[in-house]
Amino acid sequence: MLSWITLSILSSAIFGLVSITDKVLISHYMPSLRSFGAWVGIVAFTVGIVLILAVPTSRAVSVDYAVVAACAGLIWGLGLALLFLGMRSQEVSRAISIYFIHPIFVALMASAFLGESLSMSQWGAVTMTVVGTLLVTVQRKTGIGRLDLNRSNTLIVAAAAFTAGAQLVSKHALSSVGIWDFYPYWYIGLSIPFLALVNPATLREVRECLSKSSTAAWMIVGEGILGSLAAWITLSAIQIGPVSLATAIAGTRPIFVFLFSTFLSLRWWNLLDEPIHRGILIHKAFSILLIVAGIAIISTLNAT
């Protein structure tokens, strides 16, 4: 069985791929962000129902537990929905940099409610990892260093808090049952905020996209396969490891997004056309160094 550290890194890497496929879908294939959100909701709900039918033990859980699992997913979904709302009137780089402070919220909440205690070295490693993640998303633009508590930023901070709360509830619920009993109900809960986007117009757009083989491939692989797999791996890491440390590592997704997007923007591929300059690469390399150092410290301290 893989360790929670390995699972957390794997989760981050796969979610990095999901972010790339999402970007391709939104930029080139899907007609609107609303239809993309509707597709996310449809996939999550469908996968949840199929798993309940396919996994007998998931049907044996109590109604109370199923509700708790669904609520954990719902809170997580609300966090993502708030993030998308905040990004509508905010720079993407700044929005992501604010959102990925949520591992700090998780560490504070886990200490207060779950009794997880971190040493000073572990707190330093978590902070180092989060700072490295933030630096990946920050762009050198006028005003980027200032944090104005406007409506957009408030929504994004709330999104980070909701996500942290959902991860905490998930950790508590997963302490008493297996991942396959929890995951289907969690995924159905996650789908609810996105299913609110389903209407005749978005259904028509989704149907038209699925009728095109190239678009359907991106949609099914990105959200149907990679997204579902990454979510399962994330919950598995949270289940078997300290939630405060697991989420700090799993939250390093932006570094994988950068690595994948840089690779796909090389002149041999040029699929994403992302800017690749020496200054950017040096800045990101420093971020990578911080993240790797933070993860290495967490791994070393966990092994002792």
C-alpha to C-alpha distances, 86 to 80, 158, 174, 260, nearest whole angstrom: 10, 10, 30, 25
How many domains is the chain built from? 1
Of 209, 188, 181, residue with least CA distance to 76: 188
- The DSSP secondary structure of 227-282, one letter per residue, reads IHHHHHHHHHHHHHS-HHHHHHHHTTHHHHHHHHHHHHTSTTT-SS-----HHHHH
Would you place residue 147 in the very low, low, confident or very high pLDDT band (cuts 50, 70, 90)?
very low
Lowest mean pLDDT among 44-58, 64-78, 99-113, 203-217: 99-113
pLDDT for residue 111:
82
- Greater model confidence, 87 or 255: 255
Please state, in angstroms and rounded to a whole number, the distance separating the CA atoms of residues 137 and 253: 10
Whether the Cβ atoms of residue 35 and residue 202 lie closer than 8 Å to each other: yes
Q: What is the pLDDT of residue 267?
A: 67
For residue 218, give every residue at least 6 positions away whose Cβ sits within 8 Å of its Cβ, in sequence order, or none. 21, 24, 25, 29
29: number of CA atoms within 13 Å, CB side? 24
> Is residue 191 within 8 Å of residue 77, measured between CB atoms?
yes
Residue 276 has pLDDT above 80, yes or no: no
Q: Given this model, what pLDDT does residue 273 score?
A: 59
Mean per-residue pLDDT of the chain: 84
Confidence band of 102 (pLDDT split at 50, 70, 90)? confident
Range of the domain at 284: 4-303
Structure tokens at 251: 């939250």
The letter for the amino acid at 170 is S
pLDDT of residue 144: 44
Q: What is the percentage of the chain residues whose pLDDT exceeds 90?
A: 45
Q: 55 pLDDT band (50/70/90 cuts)?
A: very high
Confidence of residue 143 (pLDDT cuts 50, 70, 90): very low
CB proximity list for 26: less than 8 A, separation 6 or greater: 33, 36
Handedness of CA 243, 244, 246, 247 (dihedral sign): positive
User: Residue 277: pLDDT above 80?
Assistant: no
% of the chain surpassing 70 pLDDT: 85
Encode pLDDT of 231-270 as tens digits: 999 999 999 999 988 988 888 887 887 788 777 776 666 6
